[in-house]
Amino acid sequence: MHLTRLALTDFRSYRSVDVTLEPGVTVFDGPNGEGKTNLVEAVGYVAALSSHRTAHDAPLVRHGARQAIIRAQVHDEVHDNLVEVELNPGRANRVRLNKAPLPRPREILGILRTVLFAPEDLALVKGDPGERRRFLDDLLVAMAPRYAAVRADYDRVLKQRTALLKSAGPKSARRQSRETVAATLDTWDAHLARAGAELLVAREHLVDSLRPHVTEAYAAVAGDGRGHAAIAYRRSFGSNGTPGSYSERLRAAGEELMTALAEVRDSELDRGVCLAGPHRDELELIVRGLPARGYASHGESWSLALALRLASFGLLRAGREDPVLVLDDVFAELDSGRRSRLASLVSGAEQVLVTAAVPDDVPPVLAGARFTVAGGSLRPAER
């Protein structure tokens, strides 16, 4: 698939911009702070309904404006879809598909699929486990949009169960006795186990599919013979899963989570936090047999971060149309070897959108259309 048009109104630094895009490579260059990342952030938002830079929508709306609108024309083998996303911080966002309003924003997921590489990706390797869980969940949704509902369901149950645990805690204003809370907790344990099992078995399945892609992509980016990378899913409770069919694993995971919740209940009530479930699981990243976080060198960490994104691309394109690749300012971060290896790995994709402050950082194999971003507008770059 590819984008044929991107139009922004009051998005980030843009009052109004409208750009026509072609398949193949498009490079956006221009000085720092002129709005290159803002453009591709909008592309990522249409695909994931979230930004790779901020957890909240308010910074996405131009300072002084009340709402932002992103319009994207998405062309694939079957459709030519116009997606419109209206961001209304503090109120519900709205989406339209081919001018028709959709009941819920998440129904737009899947229309545009992207894989976005950004300097922030280093946090996938060096950051907290939450970064890696988000990586997996975002990829799950990109693979199958129905997981947006699974994820939202789990988050809702977790929030409510945590509120209940807190209500029994010593700091609660409306403190309830443990006995009163216990009866209600039994029901929430069952909800959490059901929703949690669905999320975590899906993640485990995803990690199994992703693993060979990560190993292969790491070797390709780092250069052959420069170490082996692997990934593993580590549950925060019980055993690390049992073999069997998907439904057997789902049932077993739910039962194990129920057992774990019973075991930790007293500590949970003491601390007012939910201590078992996929919100505490970890995606382990391993380089040369050691955990990447804390052990891998800076360059190895970068290669691994790139490998995770390339692996996502490999998985998303398998048997389907290519997602749109977005490379936000990544070449500046890499040495020349990694730069050219990455460039040749992505150059065959149906559409690649690249941003760079220094045009010469972009390897020649990614020659294509070029725009210079400056002063809130885009113009075809001088060659």
Ligand X SMILES: Nc1ncnc2c1ncn2[C@@H]1O[C@H](COP(=O)(O)OP(=O)(O)OP(=O)(O)O)[C@@H](O)[C@H]1O
Residue ranges in contact with Mg ion by CB under 5 A: 37, 329
114 binds, among Mg ion, ligand X, none (CB under 5 to 8 A by kind): none
- Beta-carbon neighbour count of residue 131 at 10 Å? 17
Residue 34 sits in the site that holds ligand X (CB under 6 A): yes
| Residue with smaller CB distance to Mg ion, 37 or 351 | 37
- Residue 121 near ligand X by CB under 6 A: no
Binding residue count for ligand X, defined by CB under 6 A: 17
In the chain, count H helices and then E strands. 9, 15
Binding partner of 354, given ligand X, Mg ion, none, CB within 5-8 angstroms per partner class: none
Interaction of residue 38 with ligand X, rule CB under 6 A: yes
Position 340: which residue type?
A: S
**CA dist., res. 44 & res. 126, Å (int):** 22
What are the C-alpha distances in Å from 147 to residues 136, 142, 203, 262?
A: 11, 9, 10, 27
Interacting residue with ligand X among 18, 33, 240, 291 (CB under 6 A) = 33
* Minimum gap (Å) between residue 375 Cβ and Mg ion: 16
SS3 68: strand
Beta strand 229-234 with 14-20: parallel, antiparallel or unpaired? unpaired
Tell me which of Mg ion, ligand X, none is bound by residue 363, counting a contact when its beta carbon lies within the kind-specific cut-off of 5 to 8 angstroms.
none
Query: Pick from 6, 19, 29, 35: which binds ligand X (CB under 6 A)?
Result: 35
Binding window for ligand X (CB under 6 A); candidates: 56-64, 123-131, 252-260, 263-271: 56-64
According to CB under 6 A, which one of 2, 3, 6, 13 is a site residue for ligand X? 13
- Single out the residue of 6, 21, 29, 37 in contact with ligand X (rule: CB under 6 A): 37
Encoded tokens for 151: 């994820």
Backbone angles phi, psi at 379, to 5 degrees: -135, 150
Nearer to ligand X, 56 or 159 (CB): 56
| Mask for 291-330, x = binds ligand X (CB under 6 A) | --------------------------------------x-
Contact 214, 231 (CB under 8 A): yes
Binding mask 355-374 for ligand X (x = CB under 6 A): x-x-----------------
- Pick one of Mg ion, ligand X, none as the site partner of residue 357 (Cβ within 5 to 8 A by kind): ligand X
Our finding on whether 90 is near ligand X (CB under 6 A) is no
Among 1, 25, 36, 237, binds ligand X (CB under 6 A): 36
- Return the HEC string of 176-243: CCHHHHHHHHHHHHHHHHHHHHHHHHHHHHHHHHHHHHHHHHHHHHHCCCCCCEEEEEECCCCCCCCC
Residue 13 binding partner per list ligand X, Mg ion, none, with a CB distance cut-off of 5 to 8 Å that depends on partner kind:
ligand X
Query: Residue 309 binds which entry of Mg ion, ligand X, none, with Cβ cut-offs from 5 to 8 Å by kind?
Result: none
Give dist(CA 298, CA 276) in Å, integer. 32
How far apart CA 229 and CA 290 sit, in angstroms, is: 9
339-358: which residues touch ligand X (CB under 6 A)?
355, 357
Give start and end residues of each alpha helix (H) in the chain: 36-48, 122-126, 129-143, 147-167, 178-222, 246-271, 292-295, 298-317, 336-346
Give the integer Cα–Cα distance in Å for 75 and 91: 30
Cβ proximity to ligand X: between 71 and 235 the closer is 71
Residues counted in the chain: 383
Q: Which is nearer to Mg ion, 189 or 329 (CB)?
A: 329
To the nearest whole angstrom, how small is the minimum distance from the Cβ of residue 15 to ligand X? 9
Residue where the block lists tokens 């116009």: 82
Give me the residues that bind ligand X (CB under 6 A), please: 12-13, 30, 32-38, 59, 61-63, 329, 355, 357
